[in-house]
Structure 1
């Protein structure tokens, strides 16, 4: 599919439009100059800054397994890795197929988070049975098909923002309803806020990079090798990856507080990469023996 004549085509400017992976077919070419560091990667900095998100997602996934938490929560972290892998391929090749692998998993992961946040009844059995997953899958299929036929980045961003804002609002409401002065309420609120602020700052830097692209390119040329430190889209990758990790971690503890007990699980909110774990082995065995490990 050829490039869509749409919202972000102005970022292309005089960019190189083909390379090792062939002609660029993505609807977006970001502000980073193409093939500056190697002929095999279109946007080097934007590509490499996805590695922390990929590794962080796997770290979260294995922490779920290590601490015998319900497997359903591991898919949030795996989704973060999947988005990072898709974004890595997208910025490396600037191909439409890889752009879809970057953007569509964003919808899928947030949709899954929305599905989980609606499962707020006590116990870890699905509240709505098969209906909840079915609605989520139908929504994902609708967005996938409509985006393929209407490949405008603004459409994707609106769909993503709507479900993200709705999920975040619902999560904040549930956190507010936790027992007053309970340690978990403080941990969840602090970590969730830190994640949202980090995410929002990354979003702001990304938009500055879009709006002032021409000026920033001039500054990068002047700075030479140090110009890599003002690649705004790279900060978006780093900050949203870390922000998402914190939001997922806080949300997992919130779910377990509601579904199991506010006293059964915790995490160290002072840790840079906090992970949820049982307060004691007895609680872990209790949850496992009741069939709540999925």
Structure 2
């Protein structure tokens, strides 16, 4: 939304703004609540990383926690500045993280162990270069959703096969938070004109950040 005060970062150059008045609380932070709402996710991912290192779990899970933190920091910079460069610093790690999820989910049954990480690495590198030059918009969203959909069959398989009650509980918690977060995301995006007339802004996008960041709680508990 349009800024209400002076901006340290200059005019908005990102392709998206969210349903929050810009630079209300600080001239250094465009979307204040969307920025600080990433902090819980970073802290939970850090706790998850420490626990995974202590428990000596497979390195791919530690890398995933690091990826979560990198993505969160990139998102903070994007919402704080609303600049095109920082927006890509948010969106490109989103794709990289989904590629990492695909590797984690599918690699145990992959017969050619070196081919999958090599392909996914090259895929991520090509996307980063292409996105920096072409600045995908709708194409990025469709691409990201397709990557998410690729994860669902294998996640469902693991859910059916596992007998670990805590793992099933974590999966259910993730689905619930994902659905609630999606509702918040869509409401913030599609109903902003109505919300902007309310006396209270529910900060749907910030709630999306918090709900998705809270999914780190389940692995930590288990």
Scaled by the length of structure 2, what TM-score is found? 0.91
Contact 2:33-2:206 within 8 A present in 1 as well: yes
Q: C-alpha distance in 2, partners of 1:93/1:64?
A: 33
1:87-126 CA distances to partner (integer Å, 9 max, x unpaired)? 11111111111111111111111101101211224xxxx8
* Superposed counterparts of 1:91-170, under 5 Å: 91-121=79-109, 127-170=111-154
CA RMSD of aligned residues (A): 2.0
Partner of 1:47: 35
> Alpha carbons of 1:153 and 1:17: their partners in 2 closer, same or farther (altered >3 Å)?
farther
Contact 2:107-2:113 within 8 A present in 1 as well: no
Q: CA shift at 1:147, angstroms?
A: 2.1
Q: Which has the higher helix share?
A: 2
Q: CA shift at 1:30, angstroms?
A: 1.1
Partner of 2:67: 79
Partner of 2:182: 203
Q: CA shift at 1:25, angstroms?
A: 1.6
> Alpha carbons of 1:164 and 1:246: their partners in 2 closer, same or farther (altered >3 Å)?
farther
Q: C-alpha distance in 2, partners of 1:18/1:129?
A: 53
Equivalent residue pairs, number: 222
* Superposed counterparts of 1:258-277, under 5 Å: 273-275=220-222
Partner of 1:291: none
> Alpha carbons of 1:196 and 1:18: their partners in 2 closer, same or farther (altered >3 Å)?
farther
Q: C-alpha distance in 2, partners of 1:213/1:173?
A: 38
Q: CA shift at 1:192, angstroms?
A: 0.8
Partner of 1:289: none
Q: C-alpha distance in 1, partners of 2:107/2:139?
A: 28
Contact 2:44-2:217 within 8 A present in 1 as well: no
* Superposed counterparts of 1:213-228, under 5 Å: 213-219=192-198, 222-223=199-200, 227=201
Scaled by the length of structure 1, what TM-score is found? 0.70
Long gaps (5+) in structure 2 = none
Partner of 1:231: 203
Q: C-alpha distance in 1, partners of 2:70/2:41?
A: 9
Please tell me whether residue 240 in structure 1 is matched to residue 212 in structure 2: yes
Contact 1:17-1:24 within 8 A present in 2 as well: no
Q: C-alpha distance in 1, partners of 2:111/2:88?
A: 32
Partner of 1:175: 159
Match of residue 34, structure 1, among 11, 22, 26: 22
**Which aligned segments of 4 or more residues in structure 1 are displaced greater than 4 angstroms?**
14-18
